[in-house]
Amino acid sequence: MSLTDRYIDAVLRRLPNKQRAEIERELRASIADAMEDQSETEVLTELGDPAKLAAGYADRPLQLIGPRFYLDYTRVLSALLATIVPAVAAITGLIRALDAAPVGQIITGTLGAAFTTALHVVFWTTLAFAAIERLPDLQRELSKPWQLSDLPEPPSRKAKFAELVALTVVTVLTASLILLSPRLSWETDANGQPIGVLSPWLWETGMVYVFVAVASTGLLVAFARYYLKWTVPLTIVATLVDLAAPLLLIWLTVTDHVLNPAFVAAAGLSGGTVRVINIVLILTAIGTILSSVIEAFKRVRR
């Protein structure tokens, strides 16, 4: 088999069946013509990579995703990554936590699930867009011209201020209730002293003050957000502070340090009820984490 035969084979292999005969005939003639002036090696070297020549004949794009769909691709990809990955991670973490797995296992399981999900999201999104790039009919359906109305709405300062006020009220109320809870309980012990809803462990270790401090810092950061100019470092710090309180809450719930066992006994709560309370607490924390992460993504993109 000559070099020319091998070269032509390599080109034809990459072409649709019905085009092969014609292109082979033409290419053979052109190569033979050129070889009257140059050596076979020179001619074939000049023709270059057979895959590239075949792509030219078949009118195939030499890029995975072209400029027409690249922006849509990055938009879809980041939207999917920012929503699906944290959601799957949170659900995995929750299930492990409810199975009373050790903290180490909860963390590795959650990270593993997040990583696998991210890989899947990236792979399938890329595959879908690479397919669109190669299907002209679908392209016509999908490509919409950009319009001015697609511009994102500017955030309203008034609405943000209302959010800030609401956050302040909720934080102050929650912190007060937590700090006063040992004296506010309706269950009393043999001496008529109230039995706190929250675990005395929180006070013994000072954890309750840590929790209140973290929540207050969150409030402080919210004010900084409203009054200071936005920068990426500030967004990162704010997001980390936002995440601290719900993460702490999840850890306290998982390690069973939220409810006072004495209160549970006195109020006659069943194991099932305690479980439901724990799940509600964890879901609330996960909701907070999700909204913080989504908010941070929006900020960074602006």
**Residue ranges in contact with other proteins by CB under 8 A:** 23, 25-27, 29-30, 32-34, 46-48, 52-53, 56-57, 59
d(CA 72, CA 126): 11
Local structure of 188: helix, strand or coil:
strand
Helix pair angle (3-12, 17-34), 10° resolution = 150
Pick the closer one to other proteins by CB: 24 or 72: 24
Closest separation between CB of residue 51 and other proteins, Å? 11
Minimum distance of other proteins from residue 30's CB (angstroms): 4
Task: At 281, list the tokens.
Answer: 């607490």
Nearest distance in Å: CB 59, other proteins: 6
Please, which residues bridge with residue 198 across strands? 259
For residue 76, give every residue at least 6 positions away whose Cβ sits within 8 Å of its Cβ, in sequence order, or none.
125, 129
Question: Quick one: 34 or 87, whose CB is closer to other proteins?
Answer: 34
Instruction: Give me the count of residues in the chain.
Output: 302
The answer to whether residues 200 and 189 touch, using CB atoms and an 8 Å cutoff, is no
Structure tokens given for 89: 């991670």
**CB nearer to other proteins: pick between 60 and 257:** 60
Q: Are 258 and 198 in contact (CB under 8 A)?
A: yes
Q: How far is the CB of 8 from other proteins (least distance, A)?
A: 12
CB nearer to other proteins: give 37 or 153: 37
Pick the closer one to other proteins by CB: 36 or 153: 36
Question: Nearest distance from residue 1's CB to other proteins, in Å?
Answer: 21
One DSSP character per residue, 190-205 reads TTSPBPPSB-HHHHHH
CB 86 within 8 A of CB 153: no
How far apart, in whole angstroms, are the C-alpha atoms of residue 34 and residue 44?
A: 10
Closer by beta carbon to other proteins, 27 or else 238? 27
**Residue 82 Cβ vs other proteins, minimum distance, rounded to whole Å:** 37
